[in-house]
A and B are shown apart, each in its own frame.
Chain A
Amino acid sequence: MNGTIAMITFRAMLGRKRALLLLGLPLLLLVLAVGLRATGNDDLDVSAQTLQRFGLATLLPLLALIAGTGVIGPEIDDGQIMYVLTKPIRREVIVLTKLVVAIVLVTVFAVVPTLLAGLVLAGTTAGLTPAFTVGVLVGGFAYSAVFVALAVASRNAVTIGLLYALVWESLLGSFAPGAKSASIQQWCLSITDALTDASPVRSSVDLPVAVTLLIAVTAVATFLAAFRLRSLPVASAD
């Protein structure tokens, strides 16, 4: 961890009006939760569906994509990363710092809203709220690591991430069972499934497999990002 890099990154992510970009989606989830509560559609089934479809499957990947690629992507593209890389700071430390910032942002803008939405919708019934909070938190680690690695590796990181989050996980996941099991979303859902006894939450992946894969993906992505940053080609303007 390097405090200065973390501070600069936070300022780049939250400065000006950029925080608004991060704030819109969580607000929508909260509005939805309050709306469902106010209209009386807050039984366990609807609550679990809402938290799963909007919290876990939409809010989390998009927020992690914006945060994960945003902490390092723009700096690499406009060449500012050179001022960081030429300082006597280990590349692993730089990557870890960026990753921690991304995870903090995802926690603030995705995990906390999920917790609040869960409390509004289900209260503490059947352990639904803590289960989804833990699931989204764990997913935040994995998604952030993957998207930071993607941002270091490719200049099309945001588009590739969108294709993964919106097409692979959401669209293909509903047609092809194979694609469904090979997604971070399902692994998080598996953890949520294990923590709650609410019946609507059902995952296609076993818990031990899911935990192993989540840890493996996070570790490999972090390592790859650090490895790739060691010999980063100096960017030219596009």
Chain B
Amino acid sequence: MSTSTIHDIGYRHYGGRRNGRAYVLRSLYTHNLRAAYGLGRPARAKIMPFLLGAIMLLPAAGSVAAFAFTKEPDALIDYSAYANLMQVIVAIFLATQAPVLASRELRFHVVPLYFSRPVGHLDFVLAKLGALATAMFALMAVPVTVLYAGGLVSKAPDPGRQLLDYLGGLAGCVLFAALLSAVGLVVAAWTPRRGFGVAAVIAVYMLSTGFVAVVQGIAEARTNFTLSGWIGLLSPFNLVEIAQVRLLGAEPTVPSVPSGVTPGLVALALIAAVVAGSIAVLYRRFRKAGLS
């Protein structure tokens, strides 16, 4: 131990138990999840996520109330269609909250402070993605659960099928949450300037949705329904819609979905590829951030 004698000025070493990688991951995840809803931050950071959450709940509550009075099965919104129906609110939530998770540390150049601790670069990114995905899932799953519970209470017909539909809807929400948060985080991580992150995420959403709508419109006018179905893979909401219609047996809410199981598998593979790719991109982005 000849090398340590100069620097060892007698401070006591830490000999206790190390909490390890799982603890780091869990702490980062909890911190980011709380940040996604503004918990532990000033009141003005809580306004938007909770306001958007409340807006998400309104149609579900209205639908349950309408069903309880009229007993019309059509009054209850489809579980799997809910996220797609409210996609504007979901997109705005993603646009407001993705920069909260991905941009703030970059903007204030504090990322190296995390990595001066035993935090793995990959863990840091995974915790962020997981936290935003959980927040998005909660945003979409809570109204769907309200719909299901409301249907149960007011005795919707065929409870067995309702349960299956509900579970299918939740699986769809998982896909939505994973894909959207992957895209949102990547875009937000490249636009650290305040306000621009929100605009960039919403611009990506509007651009992809608009482009797909345009191509579908033209393709259908020329009765090219194959193209009109497959081009839907390019917009996030449409992509998940294809996956849940073809693999989870949901009712389609978009005009054209390609037929057969293959498009569903392709859509699922594409979602997985986007999530994996976004992890890689975020890893590269955060690894060297703030060191230059």
* Contact between B221 and A166, CB atoms less than 8 A apart: no
The answer, yes or no, to whether B171 is at the interface (CB within 8 Å) is no
Minimum Cβ distance to chain B for residue A49 (Å): 10
**Which chain B residues border A39 with CB–CB below 8 Å?**
218, 221-222
Give chain B interface residues in 48-71, CB to chain A under 8 Å. Answer: 48, 55
* Contact between B200 and A159, CB atoms less than 8 A apart: no
Among A41, A151, A167, contact of B221 (Cβ-Cβ < 8 Å): A41
- Give the size range of B's interface with the partner: 20 to 34
The answer, yes or no, to whether A82 is at the interface (CB within 8 Å) is no
* Chain A interface helix/strand/loop/mixed: helix
Interface string of A89-124 (1 = CB under 8 A from B): 000000000000000000000000000000000000
The answer, yes or no, to whether B196 is at the interface (CB within 8 Å) is yes
The answer, yes or no, to whether B117 is at the interface (CB within 8 Å) is no
Q: Which of A30-38, A137-145, A198-206, A208-216 contacts B (4 or more CB under 8 A)?
A: A30-38
In the bound assembly, the distance between CA atoms of A32 and B221 in angstroms comes to: 14
The answer, yes or no, to whether B207 is at the interface (CB within 8 Å) is yes
* Chain B interface helix/strand/loop/mixed: helix
**Which chain B residues border A69 with CB–CB below 8 Å?**
195, 199
**Which chain A residues border B42 with CB–CB below 8 Å?**
238
Interface string of A17-34 (1 = CB under 8 A from B): 010010011001001100
* Contact between B196 and A28, CB atoms less than 8 A apart: no
Among A31, A158, A170, contact of B195 (Cβ-Cβ < 8 Å): A158
**Which chain B residues border A170 with CB–CB below 8 Å?**
88
From B47, which residue of chain A is reached at the shortest CB distance? A156
Among B92, B96, B108, B207, contact of A28 (Cβ-Cβ < 8 Å): B207
Among B203, B214, B218, contact of A24 (Cβ-Cβ < 8 Å): B203
The answer, yes or no, to whether B193 is at the interface (CB within 8 Å) is yes
25 A-B pairs whose Cβ atoms sit less than 8 Å apart in the complex: A18-B193, A18-B196, A21-B200, A21-B203, A24-B203, A24-B207, A32-B210, A39-B221, A41-B218, A54-B210, A58-B210, A62-B202, A62-B203, A66-B203, A69-B199, A73-B194, A74-B194, A74-B196, A158-B96, A158-B199, A159-B48, A159-B96, A162-B95, A167-B92, A237-B108
